[in-house]
Structure 1
């Protein structure tokens, strides 16, 4: 009865033979008192139900439907799932019993319950009230926890379940009518192993550098924007199939700072060491040492935009800097572009793809490309 306990934790067995249950059934954030008595021969045809007045009210007019379901379900857990769905349907809309019957497929629930029994209910972290959506937890060889979200239809197992994952690439399972949920989970676990080195590379940046973006990296994130100092950063996007190759790099900051770094990187591509980590390679070819996480560097990189006086917008954080080393004021590109555009009075200062003007703080000439 592991399935009964996992799906209906508020229904407690009253005897060692688990023929009597008492507790609550949850439907749409509501709890209804329910008592179940199963005869000694364990025949569900003569099962007796006792509910509170609210549950009785919702099931009024559906008594024959409940009795019909008792005649066809193989076990009490399957009946509880169907009872939950019936009550939810009566709450959602004024469906007739005939309409509700059409939405129930008694052949699906026992197969799903058996599949999850084979997996182990301790691997299930979420089940929705319709018993169609499940979240399974898994651990890769690097001790990272993953979640496989599975949504089955009434055509299960003929139709492949819809799978939602947080991974760098889409997970497309191999499926047939004979495939079980346990086999589906095994395919998922084999699939995630190919990204172990990718996550190792990215985690090294998360642990040893000041990562500006993303704030809360997901397993599907391939990029890291890392603080270099002096209002400068590098954004790196790794190839999930070849995580130790030189990533796609973009330097953000004043031209007089990022131009030499860009030249160093381009000149050293032929000396890239595929046996070293990406972090070690970047430090070696740029001849730098990434600042380590500290309150000082965190404060340094959180300078607000000199126009909107905000650090983070929906478009991101400041990604343009005044070239004047005595100023180095950071801006959001979109803010600076619109500022220069609003002040432009001649076509020579405003083109189709860029705007030219003066830094709002120091007056140094500044040119910004139109944000994409």
Structure 2
């Protein structure tokens, strides 16, 4: 009984321990645990077989524990030496489940695994099919000024790219590395015309960034004097830590809302930015507080009073 309580306290301990120290302590106890099975101790404990599996893992796979030994993080490198993190939960003997991974809409979370090796095998198989996806995201993040997500991750399959002060380009990247749902945020007749023509002549043999540069003629600064080169815009963005503020809440960032204010008004002369959530709540309040039947609310811009709309899916 004493050993059972000892192990239970060790497993549930929130005090930081190095992996070798934890494994050493557990193996010493389990070595004298004659005649006691994992089931007779507690279903919440990690069994000896599982500990042995962790100890024998390849050196390319790093293991770390969370608040308890049941919360596990695996760090795995892919063929291009990218680091990917897998967060696991040990439910019981031969029952591991993935809590989260840095992949877009992964199906791995819906399965139960017997061993960590099973998890890693399935994970490596999935990321091997996402190499084009990773390459496109990295290329966009390196060559474009990404406004959102604020801290882009591999699981974020979209990018909002700065075109000029009033216009962003929204695009999503499919698992095979193709662009989809490409549209402008903000109103600009020049950029809208270029985008519509460019989408019709999109070159599948070029990557996404090359197509963006071709569509908007970004390398030719004579097209629009308002267009800021990528390097200059990135420098400006890093120096301006506050960024654009919302015309409704007057804040740049909200604690419970990760997005930045965007140029949502379709009036080209309106220079005001809004958080999507703020604009949606504002328009709903102006309509008496009743949520829209189909999730899209229409109204007037809080600043210039021109027609504007917002969807609850954007919030």
Change (3 A) 1:195 1:172: same
Q: How does 1:103-252 map to 2 (within 5 A)?
A: 103=42, 109-120=47-58, 123-127=61-65, 131-156=69-94, 159=95, 161-164=96-99, 165-172=101-108, 180-240=115-175, 242-243=176-177, 245-252=178-185
Specify whether residues 234 and 175 from structure 1 end up closer, same or farther in structure 2 by C-alpha distance, changes over 3 A only.
closer
1:253 equivalent in structure 2: 186
Report if aligned partners of 1:304, 1:330 keep a CA contact under 8 Å in 2.
yes
Size of the alignment, in residue pairs? 269
Quote the Cα distance in structure 2 between the aligned partners of 1:341 and 1:185: 47
Q: How far 1:249 moved relative to its partner?
A: 1.4
Unaligned runs of 5+ in 2: 1-9, 17-23, 33-38, 220-228, 289-295
Higher relative contact order, chain-length normalized (CA < 8 Å, sep 6+):
2
- How far the C-alpha of 1:199 sits from its partner, in A, is 1.3
Relative to structure 1, the CA distance from residue 132 to residue 366 in structure 2 (aligned partners, 3 Å threshold; closer, same or farther) is same
Normalised by the size of structure 1, how large is the TM-score? 0.60
Alpha-carbon distance in structure 2 between the residues aligned to 1:217 and 1:285: 24
Matches for 1:1-372 after TM superposition, within 5 Å: 28-29=13-14, 77-80=26-29, 101-103=40-42, 109-120=47-58, 123-127=61-65, 131-156=69-94, 159=95, 161-164=96-99, 165-172=101-108, 180-240=115-175, 242-243=176-177, 245-254=178-187, 257=188, 259-289=189-219, 291-292=230-231, 293-297=233-237, 299=240, 302-313=243-254, 314=257, 316-319=259-262, 320-321=264-265, 323=267, 325=269, 328-333=271-276, 335=278, 353-356=297-300, 360=303, 364-372=304-312
- TM-aligned CA distance change 1:149 to 1:120, over 3 Å: same
Q: Which runs of 4+ in 1 moved over 4 A?
A: 173-177, 333-345
Provide, for residues 276-330 of structure 1, a one-character-per-residue CA deviation record: whole Å limited to 9, x for no partner: 11011122123334633433255499221233221223273222247253x5233
User: Structure 2 length as normaliser, TM-score?
Assistant: 0.69
